[in-house]
Structure 1
Amino acid sequence: MKFPWRADNRLSLLINGEAFFPRVFEAIRAAEREVLIETFILFEDKVGSQLQAELIAAAERGVRVELTVDGYGSADLSSAFVTAMSEVGVRVHMFDPQPRLLGMRTNLFRRMHRKLVVIDDRLAFVGGINFSADHLADFGPEAKQDYAVEVEGPVVHDIRRFVLAMLAPPEQRRRRWRRRGRAKPGSQAADQAGSGPGQAQLVIRDNRRHRIDIEQQYLQAIRGARQRLLIANAYFFPGFRLLREIRRAAQRGVKVELILQGQPDMPIARFSARILYDYLLRGGVSILEYASRPLHGKVALVDDQWATVGSSNLDPLSLSLNLEANLIIRDRAFNRQLFEHLQALASEHCQAISQAQLARWAFWRMPLVFLGFHLLRHFPAWIGWLPAHTPKLALLQPHEQAKAARSAAQRRERQ
C-alpha cells in the first residue's frame, strides 16, 4: 500500500465545514455509480442528518454507497439513524465496534481516524474534517478550524483502491496487495511524476507494514527544507526525531513557524505542547498559538512546493496507533494558497510565544520537560505495549436485527 506519485491532478484547498460540506454533498448528488466514505466521527446533528439524506437519495437511484465510521468516534449512532440508510441499500460499516464498560467506550486505541470520500473514481476528498456540526462557525466558540483537499485526477484511483481494499475481508485484502507491485520511498517509481504541477501521493499509516510512513514523509520534507517550514497541527507532541529535525531546520536558517492550539478543545493538548516550547524557541523556531477557536487542522508546507493535508496529528495517537491518511502534494499554486491562508491566520488570529512568557513557570516546568523528553525519545516502543488486538470491520444491519427481535417476540407470544 505504498502508492507512487501521480501527476496532473487538480487540487483545491477547502477551509472549514463551510467549504467542505457543500462540495461533498454536491458531489454525492452528482454520483452516478459509487460513493465511498470513511470518517472518524459522524454525529446525528444537522450535518450528519444532511449526509444521511444525501446517501439515502444516492442509494435510491441505484448508486453503490459504502459508509465506514469508527467504533469510538461514532459510537453513539442510533439504530434508527443507521436503519434509515441500510433499508435503502447503504452499507454502513463500523470499525472496531466494542461494548461499553460501565458506560465508558473501551476502544480508545488503534482507531480508524481517516477522513476520505471518493465519488465515481473521479473525485476525492482527503483531510481532517469530520461529519459534524462543530466544523461550522455557527456552532459557536467551540467551532473547529480545519482543512481538507478536493482532488481530481490519477491519484483518485489510488484512494479508491485503498478504500475498497479496506472493505475486503482481511485475508482477501492481504492476497490482493501481495499481488500488486509496491513503489518504495525514494525509488524511481515513487518519483516518476517528475517536477510538473498537480503531483499528489496518498500516504497511509497502519499498525502493520506502514507504521511510520507519514512520519517519514515529514522527516524527509523537513530535512530538505531550504527557505520555510510552516506546520499547523492541532495535537503537537511528536517523537524526538521529528522534534529534533524541526529545530535543526531553524538552526540552519530555515524560517520555521508552528501554529498550535491556543484555545484547545482538550486542555491536555496545549499543556503537552508547551512542555516542548523552550527547546524549540531556543533553537530559533517561531511558535504561534491560534486563539480564536479550537484548531483541528493537520497541514504543513515546505518551501514553495511541498505540502500535506490529512488526518494525522503529530502526537503519539496519530504517529503510533491510529489509522491515518494524508495527501502529500507537490504543486506551487496549492502551496501558495495554503501559505497565504496560514500567514493570514498567523497575523490576524495568533499570539506569538516568547521566552519571557515561558519564564513565568520555568521552575516547576523543568521536571515536566525532563519527563516529556524522555517520553518522546521512547514513546513508539512504549505505545506498542498498549492493548493490541485485530480490529474488525462490522457491517451494521440494525433493521435485520430488529426484524429478528420482533420475530422472536412473536414466537414467545405464541408459546
Structure 2
Amino acid sequence: MRRPHFRAPRSSRWVPGNHFELLENGEEFFPRVFEAIANAQREVVLETFILFDDKIGQQLHAALLSAARRGAQVDVLVDGFGSPTLPEEFIGQLVEAGVRFRIFDPGHRVLGQQLNLLRRMHRKIVVVDGTLGFIGGINYSADHVADFGPEAKQDYSVAVRGPIVAQMRQFALDAVLSPPERRRQQRMRRRQAPQRADLQNAPQHAGNADAIFVTRDNDVHTNDIERHYRVALRAARERVVIANAYFFPGYRFIREMRRAARRGVDVRLILQGQPDMPIVKTAASMLYDHLLRAGVRIYEYCDRPLHGKVALVDDEWSTVGSSNLDPLSLSLNLEANVIIRDRAFNAHLHGRLGRLMKHSCRQIEATPPGWLDGLRLARSYVLFHLMRWFPTWAGWLPRHKPAITVVNPPDAPKDATAATSRSDGPPRSPDGHGPGVAA
C-alpha cells in the first residue's frame, strides 16, 4: 500500500562536523558545565527552567560570578514559574558583577499561588565562548544528584562542539533581546568583529556527527520537535528506544509508534515507575493497553524519578533535549532539542538505556483478557481519539504575551528597570524562520 505524503519539518537541514558527549545525571553534567563557565574568557549564555538557591544553585552562582568578574559577558535567562523563589541577594550579586539577568514571565501570585503555569520557557541551554555548548533536560537544583536521596532524578544532557554551537548561541542570545537591544548588539558585534570573530564562527569541524538544532515555540515552530520524532518513527526499520519522563503525546505520535511496532520494529518505551508526580504515571498508564496490543514494549524505571528526554532510532538517529512528550511540551512550552546523526553516539546512548532497562526497570506485561477487557479497550479508544484534537484545544488556552523582565543594578534609574514585551516565540528573521534554526 502506498504511504501517504509526510512533509518533513522546516528545520531539517543537517549541519555536519559536530561532536556530542552524553552526560548522564548531575554527577557528570554539573562539574563539566561549572568548570566551563568558571573558565569562560569572553562569553556565557545560559537559559534554564529551574534555578534554585541550593548547593547546586550556589555552585552555578559562583561560576557565573567568576566569569563575570574576569570580564566575560554573561547572559542568564530563567523561567519565572520554574525559578520563583530566588533571593534578591542571589540575583543582586550577579547583577552587580555585570551579569545580564532576565526572568521569563515573572507572573504574579494570587493568594500565594502562581498563575503563570502555561507557556513556560522550558529550555536548558548553555554556550561558553561560542565554542562549547550544553543542552538537555537537567535543571540547576540539588535533586539532580544522587545524594539528594530517593527523589533524585535520572536525567541526560550533552556537551556539544562544532558548527551547531553557533546556532545554539545565536538563538539563545536573540531570544532575550528586545529589538533596540538586538540592534545595539549588532552594532557592537560589527565594532568588535576582529576581537570576537571566534564567537561568531564555531569550529568548522569537531567530529563526525551531523546535527539539527530544533526548537518549539508558539509562533513559527509550533510542532517541529514532535514532527522530527514522527519522521524518525516512520523511517525506523530495526529499533526505537524512547526514554521520556512525561509521556502523553498526541494521536499521530501514538499512531506512528504502533505502526512501527506492527511492521516488526523493536519499539521500547521507558517511563516513570517512581514518578515525581503521581498523575504522570496515571496518565501514561492509560495508554498502555493501546500500545502493548500493537507490540510496543513498555518499561517503568523504578530506581528514582525519571526526568530524561532522550530517544534513538535504528543505529544513527538520536535526540536529547528539554522536550517531554506531553501536552505541555508539545503544545505550550518553549523547548529545544538537538537531533543527532552519528553511529558512535547512538551506540553509546543505546548501551546506557539498555543497562537502565536491564537493571533498573520492570517490564509491563499486557493484561490478560477478562471481563474488564472491553472497558479498558473503550477507555483506550476514547483517550486515543481525544488526544487527536489536543493541539487544537491548546490553541484555545490563554495566549498572553509573556514578558522578559530585565533585572537592573540597585543604582539604575527606575525607568531602566523595564519588562521587555515578547511573544512566546523567538524573533523572526527576514525569511520568516526563527533564529538559529535551519530552514
TM-score normalised by L of structure 2: 0.84
Deviation of 1:236 after TM superposition, in Å, equals: 0.4
- Residues 377, 172 of structure 1: CA spacing in aligned structure 2 closer, same or farther, 3 A cutoff? farther
Query: What CA distance in whole angstroms lies between the structure 2 residues aligned with 1:84 and 1:379?
Result: 43
The aligned residue for residue 14 of structure 1 is: 23
The aligned amino acid for 1:267 is: P
The one of 122, 131, 139 aligned to 1:130: 139
The aligned residue for residue 120 of structure 1 is: 129
- Residues 400, 388 of structure 1: CA spacing in aligned structure 2 closer, same or farther, 3 A cutoff? farther
The one of 36, 59, 76 aligned to 2:45: 36
Aligned-CA RMSD value: 2.4
Deviation of 1:57 after TM superposition, in Å, equals: 1.1
The aligned amino acid for 2:332 is: L
* Contact 1:37/1:117, CA 8 A, preserved across alignment: yes
The aligned residue for residue 68 of structure 1 is: 77
Deviation of 1:106 after TM superposition, in Å, equals: 0.8
Question: Given the alignment of the two structures, is residue 275 of structure 1 paired with residue 286 of structure 2, yes or no?
Answer: yes
The one of 359, 362, 367 aligned to 1:348: 359
Q: After the TM superposition, which residues 18-167 of structure 1 pair with which residues of structure 2 at under 5 Å, given as runs?
A: 18-167=27-176
Q: What SS does structure 1 have at the residue aligned with 2:280?
A: helix
Bigger Cα displacement from structure 2, 51-60 vs 367-376: 367-376
Bigger Cα displacement from structure 2, 48-57 vs 373-382: 373-382
Deviation of 1:373 after TM superposition, in Å, equals: 2.0
The aligned residue for residue 320 of structure 1 is: 331
The aligned amino acid for 1:334 is: F
Query: What CA distance in whole angstroms lies between the structure 2 residues aligned with 1:208 and 1:32?
Result: 35
The aligned amino acid for 2:158 is: V
Q: Identify, as 1 or 2, the structure richer in helix.
A: 1
Question: Given the alignment of the two structures, is residue 284 of structure 1 paired with residue 295 of structure 2, yes or no?
Answer: yes
Query: What CA distance in whole angstroms lies between the structure 1 residues aligned with 2:380 and 2:298?
Result: 17
> Where does the alignment leave 5 or more consecutive residues of structure 1 unmatched?
177-192, 405-415
Query: What CA distance in whole angstroms lies between the structure 2 residues aligned with 1:3 and 1:224?
Result: 15
- Residues 119, 225 of structure 1: CA spacing in aligned structure 2 closer, same or farther, 3 A cutoff? same
The aligned residue for residue 188 of structure 1 is: none
The aligned residue for residue 388 of structure 1 is: 399
* Contact 1:278/1:358, CA 8 A, preserved across alignment: no
Identical amino acids, percent of aligned pairs: 57
Query: What CA distance in whole angstroms lies between the structure 2 residues aligned with 1:94 and 1:3?
Result: 31
Question: Given the alignment of the two structures, is residue 300 of structure 1 paired with residue 307 of structure 2, yes or no?
Answer: no
Query: What CA distance in whole angstroms lies between the structure 1 residues aligned with 2:136 and 2:371?
Result: 37
TM-score normalised by L of structure 1: 0.88
- Residues 284, 88 of structure 1: CA spacing in aligned structure 2 closer, same or farther, 3 A cutoff? same
* Contact 1:28/1:35, CA 8 A, preserved across alignment: yes
Q: What SS does structure 1 have at the residue aligned with 2:115?
A: coil
The aligned amino acid for 2:328 is: L
The aligned residue for residue 270 of structure 2 is: 259
The aligned amino acid for 1:201 is: I
Query: What CA distance in whole angstroms lies between the structure 1 residues aligned with 2:95 and 2:115?
Result: 26
The aligned amino acid for 1:38 is: E
Query: What CA distance in whole angstroms lies between the structure 2 residues aligned with 1:74 and 1:358?
Result: 47
* Contact 2:242/2:310, CA 8 A, preserved across alignment: yes
- Residues 101, 349 of structure 1: CA spacing in aligned structure 2 closer, same or farther, 3 A cutoff? same
* Contact 2:289/2:376, CA 8 A, preserved across alignment: no
Deviation of 1:361 after TM superposition, in Å, equals: 6.7
